[in-house]
A and B are shown apart, each in its own frame.
Chain A
Amino acid sequence: QQQVKQSPQSLIVQKGGISIINCAYENTAFDYFPWYQQFPGKGPALLIAIRPDVSEKKEGRFTISFNKSAKQFSLHIMDSQPGDSATYFCAASRRRDDKIIFGKGTRLHILP
């Protein structure tokens, strides 16, 4: 009920390709789904976030797709660049009890 399952653990993509990271949750009380990006030696930083009342949110090359009925959401990075190489965490939170749960992370490497 509390988990957010993230896949894959690691991902290698050619420069210019599309990177896709998937997350699934079980608790339907979650109502906010952020993605965080973390570079080596740094703390995570918010990349993009979505609420469940929309099915897609796009910011530049980054898009979140949200499927409420399947309880899944994914991050798509278009035209992936070497500078996108980082660890990505999905998360889910709910207002009822101020909880936030993170996925286990995906290490993305973009080949130059």
Chain B
Amino acid sequence: EAQVTQNPRYLITVTGKKLTVTCSQNMNHEYMSWYRQDPGLGLRQIYYSMNVEVTDKGDVPEGYKVSRKEKRNFPLILESPSPNQTSLYFCATSPGGGPSSYNEQFFGPGTRLTVL
């Protein structure tokens, strides 16, 4: 079954404690992306990757890091989380050139993060 998995699904942490949210896909998609969803602000892109070892900033990259060492995995790293990073996070994947090449994005189930 084609799917995008995220772990953990829920996380409560404290300010400054490094954390990683994993994203994995089994569809052999080149494009992967991270979004955060906040009430009244919609979906905002954090980082995206067109392929292995290629990453680019989205609209809200501050406070986040990513890496793309393998095609199937795209972890999101918060090295020193702060309360303003409390949000619902989604990983998404897309074949070929990504959404800008008229491709559908497939979203994971989301990770709800609370930073105290």
Which residues from chain A sit less than 8 Å from chain B, CB to CB? 2, 6, 9, 32, 34, 36, 41-46, 49, 51, 89, 91, 93-105
Contact = CB atoms under 8 A, between A and B. Distances in A.
Interface string B88-116: 00101000011111101111111000000
A91 B105 CA distance: 12
A34 B99 contact: yes
Nearest to B58: A99
A82 to B, nearest CB: 23
B45 A43 contact: no
Contacts, number: 72
Contact of B107 (A45, A95, A98): A45
B102 A51 contact: yes
A82 B31 CA distance: 34
A100 B90 CA distance: 15
Contacts of B56: 98
Contact of B100 (A32, A45, A102): A32
Interface of B: 4, 35, 40-45, 48, 50, 56, 58-59, 90, 92, 97-102, 104-110
B114 to A, nearest CB: 16
Contact of A89 (B42, B58, B97): B42
Given A32-B99, A95-B100, A42 B42 contact: no
A95 B97 contact: yes
A6 B100 contact: no
B102 A6 contact: no
Contact of B99 (A9, A100, A103, A104): A100
Given A44-B90, A100-B105, A101-B59, 6 more contacts: A41-B109, A41-B110, A42-B110, A45-B107, A93-B100, A105-B42
Contact of A102 (B4, B42, B50, B101): B42
